[in-house]
Structure 1
Amino acid sequence: MIRNRSALADSPAHEVALDCLEAAVDAAAPAVATKSAIERGSETLTIGETAYDLDNYSDIVIVGGGKATGGVTRALESILGDALSGGHVVVKQTVDTETVRSSVGDHPLPSDRNVEATADMLETVDEADEDTLVLFVLTGGASALLSAPAGELTLKDLQTTTDRLLSGGVPIEEINAVRKHLSDLKGGQIARRAAPATVAGLLISDVVGNDLSTIGSGPSAPDETTYEDALGVFERHDLTPPPAVRAHLEAGRDGRISETPFPDDSAFDRVTNHLIGDNATALDAAAAVAEEAGYEPLVLTSRLRGEAREVAKSLVAIAEEATATGTPVKPPAVLLAGGETTVTVTGDGGQGGPNQEFVLSGALDHDGDAVIAAIDTDGEDGSSDVAGAIADGTVVDDRERARDALLANDAGSYLSEIEATVETGPTGTNVNDVAVIVVRDGNE
């Protein structure tokens, strides 16, 4: 899965780090997650603890979007076979589906083809009736891929808003609070549009904490945020929304536009959401690989967040403590963490993303010989075309230039130059970031 693995495997510790990364991504593969969560009987589809009697439905359709949605859809097609009526999903990479239509969109910024594909998908949702079972597949990347500008808003308004929020280092929960109130499908509005159909949401989480209302901006989940909350995001982060966006949000705040549906809305009477994969799934798989290799694994958290370069310092400090005192784990050990860190871009920025900033910052700050690796499980770190990076202190040969690159948000350029970036290509899944720190025992 790691295309340039042979160039990165400099030591047994590097090998273990790379093994952990690959295991994490493999465990989050959408087909694996789907088939482990769903069982098909002769006339029953069981998702988690909920059984759906297929005799009750004249139509079963699949709709949704996201980077891993194609894999989930293929798995559902194999499970349902002829019982499936059709559907439409919006994905980032071309997917070979049989019954369900798929359209390729753009990420991380929405595009014209995203809007067109989403409008087509919504026709399927709008046609659903009380005899329809809607399987709504939602995975990381859906917030951009499923684009339906609300009211008089334009695609350009969405693009500009998304770009400002991402560049401003705004946490994903707050970004999605804004997105919900600029959309005709997010924030529970898929549920509203599908009613009175039965909706089964199948979600692979790319959100720290797995808040169902935040994953993909929560199209099938109740929304407790408001237009006033969305306006507050811009105020807290000292960002200016486009004029049309401000006008739309203020109209909602003033009651001139209907709010997104709250938890007590009748739209959710026949909606059940099922989480079928998340970051913890990936970390558990990485821990198993580390243990098999003779290292003591310690999963620190699946809720990692904050500025990437600062978060890295805290984690390498734990690695240093392990080396010095055997606390909280005795070397040889592997520290594991997952979540979603952020990068606040200053100036023009450069190449890279939060995982590359995490690794370079960690390598610069660490006073030991631990191997530090981090990737985005979708294979694309930020807006770069690499998944992340792997390094220890020995590869950072020009520390002054490395620090300058980090300060300029150009970690990717430096790490690429020293051949420390991890290349996977699109993985077809997305469960946030995975960080691996291999703490050696001094015998390597």
Structure 2
Amino acid sequence: MHGAQPDPRHDPQGFLRALFDAAVAAADPLRVGPPHLPPRSKGRLVVIGAGKASARMAEAVEAHYGPCEGLVITRYGHARPTRGIEIVEAGHPVPDAAGVAATERMLRLVSGLGPDDLVLALISGGGSALLCAPAAGLTLADKMAVTRALLDCGAPIDQINTVRKHLSRVKGGQLAAACHPARVLGLMISDVPGDDPAVIASGPLSSERSTPDEALAILDRHGLDLPEAVRSALMRRSSVVPPGDPRLTNVQTRIIAAPSRSLQAAADLARRAGCELRLLGDDLQGEARELGAEQARMALSLLPRVRADGRPLVILSGGECTVTRRGDGIGGPNAEFALAAALALDGVPGIHVIACDTDGVDGAAEIAGAIAGPETLPRARAAGIDPGTALARNDAHGFFGAIGGQVVTGPTLTNVNDFRAVLVVPG
């Protein structure tokens, strides 16, 4: 971040956007990647990867080493220029044929490597969908159906990834096992609570303790109606790699960017602007509308204090909210958080909210999220838009699009989960 920053009192929404931009900049692979790159060894260096940030990570690798051999898979629209590493774009959040074909090519690329070779694996959020190799007996259509059902029911990411692992030939440590006996160094950008490498992108480099029975229990808990082939696949023994498997002996993983570090960058900016901080953590989960209303109530409870002492206050949080689809809107957990917060605030002066996904994609929409303030509900009602109806329909993106409240960044080329800030100013 360079130059003068917006003042929280005079330009509250510009200031909130500056906080979000600081969080994204702190996770730029070109900034955080090079310090973790090892010296080149005598063997082959093969670069592989998957995720929304993987192409930018590959760009950082080649800026350090020069042209490299390799293949990474990223979301459509997230490619970057590279000289040796091939970038393939594929479907996200629902996998597609391009992802399946690229994953098969990746598995062939790492086969036959020796102990002197190094596989540099660039893994970030989004890799679960992009790195797709259906287990035996399953088709791409089966995997697509499972993914859509899990996303629509509001299941938390750890449950979604547990199911994905047992329906895959690359997740749950299987990609790393395919590289054996080569050494594997995984550089990872975390988009999950706790920054667990076994959860990021469904753990392609990490051993797995869960069982197919646990995956079945998750499907049953949510009452999902799925193709019979999916249930049959989970009744068989899956091919995830158990702890202690010798094929993972030479595997290392490093978290090079994480939600906590991005929140800290935003917190540092807020402090420099003279704000008091409430940092709620980087791992908040739950229904987006419930969390939005909860943080709005917290801001309302703090408003008298802020007015009394004259110092702005910022409530920061990260994590990954979910949306249970109830209507026909295109949803988006960050936009839904902001809409629920706006409804709870009901136009009270002095409180503004931003909620954005750091990858620039909120749910399935090419929109980072939304920003709301005292003018949000009056502006909507003046335009004949009912905010309560929009929330009931999961149409927060449509709501903010109609009143100019969307935050649109395009691909940010990183992914450290959701960013939320509530600013309370004296008035």
Q: TM-score, normalised by structure 2?
A: 0.92
- 2 CA distance for matches of 1:173 and 1:149? 19
Contact 2:306 2:426 in 1 (8 A): no
CA offset at residue 80 of structure 1? 2.1
CA offset at residue 160 of structure 1? 0.7
- 2 CA distance for matches of 1:353 and 1:11? 29
Name the residue aligned to 2:376: 395
Contact 1:323 1:331 in 2 (8 A): no
Q: Does 1:424 align with 2:409?
A: yes
Name the residue aligned to 2:70: 87
CA offset at residue 81 of structure 1? 2.9
- 1 CA distance for matches of 2:79 and 2:317? 31
Name the residue aligned to 1:33: 32
- 2 CA distance for matches of 1:94 and 1:280? 26
- 1 CA distance for matches of 2:337 and 2:178? 41
Name the residue aligned to 1:42: none
CA offset at residue 259 of structure 1? 4.1
Name the residue aligned to 1:14: 13
Q: How has the CA–CA distance of structure 1 residues 70 and 160 changed in structure 2, closer, same or farther, with 3 Å as cutoff? A: same
- 2 CA distance for matches of 1:33 and 1:239? 40
CA offset at residue 321 of structure 1? 2.2
CA-to-partner distance for each residue in 1:39-78, whole Å, 9 max, x for gaps?
Answer: 5xxxxx2xxxxxxx644x4111100111101111111112
Q: Does 1:166 align with 2:151?
A: yes
- 1 CA distance for matches of 2:155 and 2:187? 27
- 1 CA distance for matches of 2:40 and 2:79? 30
Give the secondary structure class of the aligned counterpart of 2:236: helix
Give the secondary structure class of the aligned counterpart of 1:76: helix
**Is the deviation greater in 394-403 or in 142-151?**
394-403
CA offset at residue 292 of structure 1? 2.2
- 1 CA distance for matches of 2:166 and 2:199? 13
CA offset at residue 403 of structure 1? 0.5
1:97 is aligned, of 82, 95, 100, to 82
Contact 2:169 2:239 in 1 (8 A): no
CA-to-partner distance for each residue in 1:236-274, whole Å, 9 max, x for gaps?
Answer: 11112211111100122xxxxx44112211122101111
2:278 is aligned, of 291, 295, 298, to 298
- 2 CA distance for matches of 1:314 and 1:331? 22
Unaligned runs of 5+ in 2: none
- 1 CA distance for matches of 2:219 and 2:103? 26
- 2 CA distance for matches of 1:108 and 1:390? 24
2:318 is aligned, of 331, 338, 342, to 338
Name the residue aligned to 2:399: 414
CA-to-partner distance for each residue in 1:113-167, whole Å, 9 max, x for gaps?
Answer: 1111111111112132212101111011111111111112110001111000001
2:200 is aligned, of 198, 215, 221, to 215
- 1 CA distance for matches of 2:330 and 2:221? 27
Query: RMSD value over aligned CA atoms?
Result: 2.1
Name the residue aligned to 1:150: 135
CA offset at residue 330 of structure 1? 7.9
The code of the aligned residue for 2:26 comes to A
Q: TM-score, normalised by structure 1?
A: 0.89
Contact 1:126 1:193 in 2 (8 A): yes
Give the secondary structure class of the aligned counterpart of 1:339: strand
